[in-house]
Amino acid sequence: MLLLRRDLLLACRNRAEIANPLLFFILVAALFPLAAGPQPELLQKIASGVIWVAALLANLLSLDVLFRSDYEDGSLEQLLLSPHPTSLLVLSKITAHWITTGLPMVLVSPLLAGLLSIPASAYPTLLYTLMLGTPALSLIGAIGVALTVGLQRGGILLSLLVLPLYIPVLVFASDAIHSASIGMAPVAQLSLLASLLVLALSLSPTATAAALRISLS
């Protein structure tokens, strides 16, 4: 709990860590209507994919800060030497990352949904997919960050490691929103997203802790 509070305070002091992914998310989603033109039918068809590609890329943009500052000031080594379970400490840092990056995207998504002509009936599904999918992205991405934290230019390698693992979340989430937009019940897609979140929550903290030990050894 103290680690979570510390990370949130640090993020509030360095507001660019919160603002940059959120602004990227908004800009990417807002540019598509300008490129596609004022055609509600076309926007409605591509809206789910646009929002989720923007969310995925914004999450990827923010991943590098997850452990980088702790690695540079040496506190990451102290974290691994702590008597507390490393997986729980890692989970706390991932939670702080989601609160500062994923949650703001969830909050602004209804505004972007209106811009992209998503029907109001699909708004709850949009929020459900983001609430289930963005934590899964942070959990999956943490493993890649832990493996590349010791590299000076690990951004490209991080993308190669993480993007293939993001694809199931992207596919199920965008399909759920599209199904809700055309009046179909997205129960199956939301159930699969929830399963992916539970799987990531079960495996990611332990895998991330092991990856950090490998990177710092």
Q: Tell me the pLDDT tens digit for each residue of 72-92.
A: 777 777 777 777 888 888 898
The yes-or-no verdict on residue 7 having pLDDT over 80 is no
CA distance 45 to 101: 26
Range of the domain at 59: 2-216
CA distance 167 to 97: 20
DSSP state of 14: S
The per-residue pLDDT for 175 is 92
First to last CA, the chain: 27
Name the domain count of the chain.
Answer: 1
pTM for the complete prediction?
A: 0.90
The per-residue pLDDT for 194 is 95
The per-residue pLDDT for 46 is 85
The yes-or-no verdict on residue 116 having pLDDT over 70 is yes
Instruction: Note the pLDDT tens digit of each residue in 179-205.
Output: 998 888 899 999 999 999 999 999 999
- Tokens 């360095």 map to which residue? 14
CB neighbourhood size of 92 (10 A): 20
The yes-or-no verdict on residue 1 having pLDDT over 70 is no
Question: For residue 182, what are its two tokens?
Answer: 């055309």
Length of the chain, please?
217
